[in-house]
A and B are shown apart, each in its own frame.
Chain A
């Protein structure tokens, strides 16, 4: 059992507190993305035609591939947590590397998607230069597209940073069956990031 901070009665209590803290943090995340989605809902409601036309310019296949990547990464993350709890250092590290690889693949696909949009001039309203999309409100769709996916991507990047940190500590044996709070918390966070995408994908790519 690892030594716990002096102001907690036990390592158990410390873990419970950290877990609860993570949940509260995720509530703030939900509200932050929630605000953005409310904005999306309002504009979609105001300009349904423009949003419908605009959403046809998103690559559903690429979005779908990314969805698969992220869902799989949630599986490998869950495995990493379980293996760490069981004290299987190598298996846990491999699962973390798997999660990182899937996250990286997600970013690669996103890069391809973004560069297409840049090339076609499908950019936030003020920089929008595409001539095919004639409806005046269509650029707003891309503003929201970049804001939501951009904020999500920022979360993916932060998550990858955390995964690397966890991976190093798992490999060195610091995080193991005795103490794996950080792994579990990063796991929560990663599932949340995954979940956000599960909302963004249909809202942007499918129903637009």
Chain B
């Protein structure tokens, strides 16, 4: 049987119903959007270096951080791991031939792209400003083409819903014989919990965006104080989606980490059930903490207190996960290859991001920190440190499966260290800047903040270099990489039990599951990597 990459030509890609090809199309598109969002970030940081002369005008600056945020959130981090890795891996991990509804899957890719085109078209018109949160009433009054970005986000949301629906039904209905729920790989548990959040939260974002669009087009006044409406209601609606959305972003990354750590520690995962169920704990708490974004928006004292308390609870299920991963590594025989490097990078960055989240959940501190760089740093540690590290761990882990080839471990390590060091140099100073009171989203800053801003900007160059380097060696590996064989990491989940790249129908013989997938032993396993 020929592998899934055999058919050639653009048409064979654009009309494919194969989840693996759709996954790769997502991966490619998301990477392009990531580069676009990243270029905005690099220019913003360059501006903030403070050359004495402004690189960006105030309006441009507003537009740049809006596009950076909107692109990274709606077109990269939210669809990233589910759309790219989830689509590719989920059915194979289940031992299935495809997702439950392949046509819907392709449709969701196209819907995503239509949303992206809408959002990106604003770039060529009058742009968009006001930040990715689109707070009213500014988003009603601004004369930029923010409408296009809103519509784009709305459309992309439907794609997100359809993907989630497909995953839920696939996990329920397409598990291979013998794959009971307690043998389900943790990546799939994580995608399942993520999908539930997507199903329950995204429709609320959809209606919020519909109302905001109607606000601009029909002046319905719901969010407009001038017409009797309530701008705070927009914040409630928006964060009712957007807080759970951060778990849409982080849970799949946690799933990847749960796969990578046992394989590269050669030890059974510690706390399988705890990791699986804590995702649902996170999903549940996700829906009752949104008010922590609105502490200074004129919420009642009681609400502030309750939201603060509930937010603290998030630390419990996330802590369970972090300790379980550390417990898995303890006394394991650790193989420091690229996926594991990224998993460790995830642990470092996510822990810092998570702990500073507790600072922000504390009311007295939050009042002080609201709208400062402290929040920016916290958010980037969680979302970039968490999701992007998880995504990169997954891309490196499954790269041999997707392409049948090996990348250079040496190159991967160079890129990893550049990104990790660059990341810390960029964002750690922002914690300090924020604590000293530097507000976010400001075009200029006071002279005493110059030094740390410069450090931060220099860090961003290392991140940029790391990704540039990554593009080069990935491209080289796709073209000239050594053949990887079907299972270079000696991993036990089903996707490694078929050839690389897999055949169109995923398996030559329909698999039957007889054991859970984490029975690793600390033997002297040989990993077929390209040193």
Do A and B pair up? The answer is yes
Residue contact B220 to A147, C-beta cutoff 8 Å: yes
CB of B207 within 8 Å of the partner chain: yes
Chain A neighbourhood of B231, CB < 8 A: none
Q: How far is the CB of A133 from chain B (nearest CB, A)?
A: 13
A128 to B246, CA, bound (A): 39
Closest to A42 in B: B233
3 tightest A-B CB contacts, nearest first:
A126-B219, A125-B221, A143-B220
**A34 to B206 Cα, complex, angstroms:** 11
**Residues of chain B lying within 8 A (CB to CB) of residue A33:** 207
Which residues of B have CB within 8 Å of A42?
A: 230, 233
In the complex, how many angstroms separate the beta carbon of B482 from the nearest chain A beta carbon?
32
Whether B169 pairs with A20 at a CB distance below 8 angstroms is yes
Q: Let me know if B222 and A137 touch, CB within 8 A.
A: no
Cα separation A6 to B96 with both chains bound (whole Å): 10
**Interface flag for A75 (CB, 8 Å):** no
Q: Which residues of A contact B98 (CB under 8 A)?
A: 6-7
Can you list 24 residue pairs at the A/B interface with Cβ under 8 Å?
A6-B98, A7-B96, A7-B98, A7-B99, A7-B102, A7-B174, A17-B101, A20-B168, A25-B165, A35-B204, A35-B207, A35-B208, A36-B207, A36-B211, A124-B221, A125-B228, A126-B218, A126-B227, A127-B219, A137-B228, A139-B227, A140-B221, A140-B227, A147-B214
Contact of B100 with A by CB under 8 A: yes
Whether B233 pairs with A31 at a CB distance below 8 angstroms is: no
Contact of A136 among B99, B210, B228 (CB under 8 A): B228
Per-residue interface assignment for chain B, residues 166 to 209, with 1 indicating a CB less than 8 Å from any chain A CB and 0 otherwise:
10110011100000000000000000000000011111101110
A165–B264 alpha-carbon span in the complex (Å) = 53
Contact at A13–B207, with CB atoms within 8 Å?
no
Which residues on A sit within 8 Å (CB–CB) of B214?
Answer: 124, 147
Q: What residues on A are CB-neighbors of B168 within 8 Å?
A: 20, 24
A residues less than 8 Å from B172 (CB atoms): 17, 20
Most buried by B among A8, A21, A25, A27: A21
A53 at the interface (CB under 8 A from B): no
| A28 pairs with B199, CB closer than 8 A | yes
A113 at the interface (CB under 8 A from B): no
B90 to chain A minimum Cβ distance, whole angstroms, is 12
A32 on the B face (CB < 8 A): yes
Q: Which residues of A contact B229 (CB under 8 A)?
A: 125, 140
The complex places the Cα of A144 from the Cα of B102 at a distance, in Å, of 37
- Contact flag A21-B505 (CB < 8 Å), given A42-B233, A125-B229: no
Instruction: Establish whether residues B204 and A124, one from each chain, have CB atoms under 8 Å apart when the complex forms.
Output: no
Q: Does A157 contact B (CB under 8 A)?
A: no
Cβ-closest chain A residue relative to B224 = A125
Q: Is the CB of A31 within 8 A of B204?
A: yes
Q: In the complex, what distance in Å separates the CA atom of A47 from the CA atom of B228? A: 10
Contact residues of A between 143 and 161, Cβ < 8 Å to B: 143-144, 146-147, 151
Contacts of A14-66 to chain B: CB distance below 8 A: 16-18, 20-21, 24-25, 27-29, 31-36, 39, 42-43, 46-47
Q: Does B368 count as interface, using CB distance less than 8 angstroms?
A: no
User: In chain A, what residue has the closest Cβ to B219?
Assistant: A126
Chain A residues touching B, majority SS:
helix
Q: Which of B202, B220, B505 is close to A125, meaning CB atoms less than 8 Å apart? A: B220
Give me the interface of B with A, judged by CB distance under 8 Å: 91, 96-102, 161, 165-166, 168-169, 172-174, 199-204, 206-208, 210-211, 214, 218-222, 224, 227-230, 233, 237, 505
Q: A20-B173, A24-B165 are in contact. Are A143 and B222 (CB under 8 A)?
A: yes
Nearest residue, chain A, Cβ from B510: A9
CB nearest neighbor in A for B168: A24
Within 8 A of B (CB), among A72-115: none
Q: How far is the CB of B231 from chain A (nearest CB, A)?
A: 13
Contact between B221 and A27, CB atoms less than 8 A apart: no
Other CB < 8 Å A-B pairs besides A46-B230, A143-B221, A147-B211, 4 of them? A7-B97, A8-B173, A29-B203, A125-B221
A180 to B271, CA, bound (A): 45
Contact A24 B169 (CB under 8 A): yes
Q: A6-B505, A126-B218, A139-B227 are in contact. Are A35 and B237 (CB under 8 A)?
A: yes
Contacts of B199 in A (CB 8 A): 24, 27-28
Q: Is the CB of A32 within 8 A of B203?
A: yes
Of the candidates B168, B201, B203, B220, the one having the most CB atoms from chain A within 10 angstroms of its own CB is B220
* Chain A residue nearest to B99 in the complex (CB): A7
B227 touches A28 (CB 8 A): no
Would you call B174 and A144 a contact (CB within 8 A)? Answer: no
Q: Which of B165, B230, B233 contacts A21 (CB 8 A)?
A: B165
CB-CB < 8 A to B91: which residues of A?
7
Given contacts A16-B173, A21-B100, contact A31 B203 (CB under 8 A): yes
The minimal Cβ–Cβ distance linking A78 to chain B, given in whole angstroms, is 25
Contacts of A147 in B (CB 8 A): 210-211, 214, 220, 222
Contacts of A127 in B (CB 8 A): 218-219
A184 vs chain B, min Cβ distance (A): 16
